[in-house]
Amino acid sequence: QLQLVESGGGLVQAGGSLRLSCAASGRTFSSYAMGWFRQAPGKEREFVATINSVGRGTMYADSVKGRFTISRDNAKNTLYLQMNSLKPEDTAVYYCAARNSALMNFKSTGYDYWGQGTQVTVSS
């Protein structure tokens, strides 16, 4: 079983930045492709970004492309999401997820493990 714990969320003004972290434990982190998803109140969970197991491939939702950067440090068993130029529409609970594959995936159904989420609120 792989455990995932997110941190780094908070309240920020529009145009500001936050960096989310996701600490993994319990299994070999470097074997898993990882993803970030988010869910705003009253909306379905949506894809944000994904990265392959070795960190050489990434994919982003159009809504965050150019503003967010996903990365990972396999030596530290940690996934990151650097969020710049934040907008009020980025307000959501952000979840990290892991899948039993080295390959990226933008579909939430393709993931096997989930963290508990961290709240990001962007004020206008």
* Tokens matching residue 116: 């508990």
* Tokens matching residue 32: 């898993």
pLDDT at 26: 84
Sheet order of strands, 78-83 included:
3-7, 18-25, 78-83, 68-73
Residue in 5, 14, 37 with CA at minimum distance from that of residue 124: 14
DSSP 88: G
pLDDT at 47: 98
Summarised one tens digit per residue, pLDDT across range 48-84 is 999 999 999 999 999 999 999 999 999 999 999 999 9
Read off the amino acid at residue 2. L
| Angle at the Cα of 89 from the Cα atoms of 86 and 94, rounded to 5 degrees | 75
> Which helix (H) or strand (E) element contains residue 112?
none
Centroid of chain to Cα 89: 16
pLDDT at 102: 96
| 44-49 average pLDDT score | 98
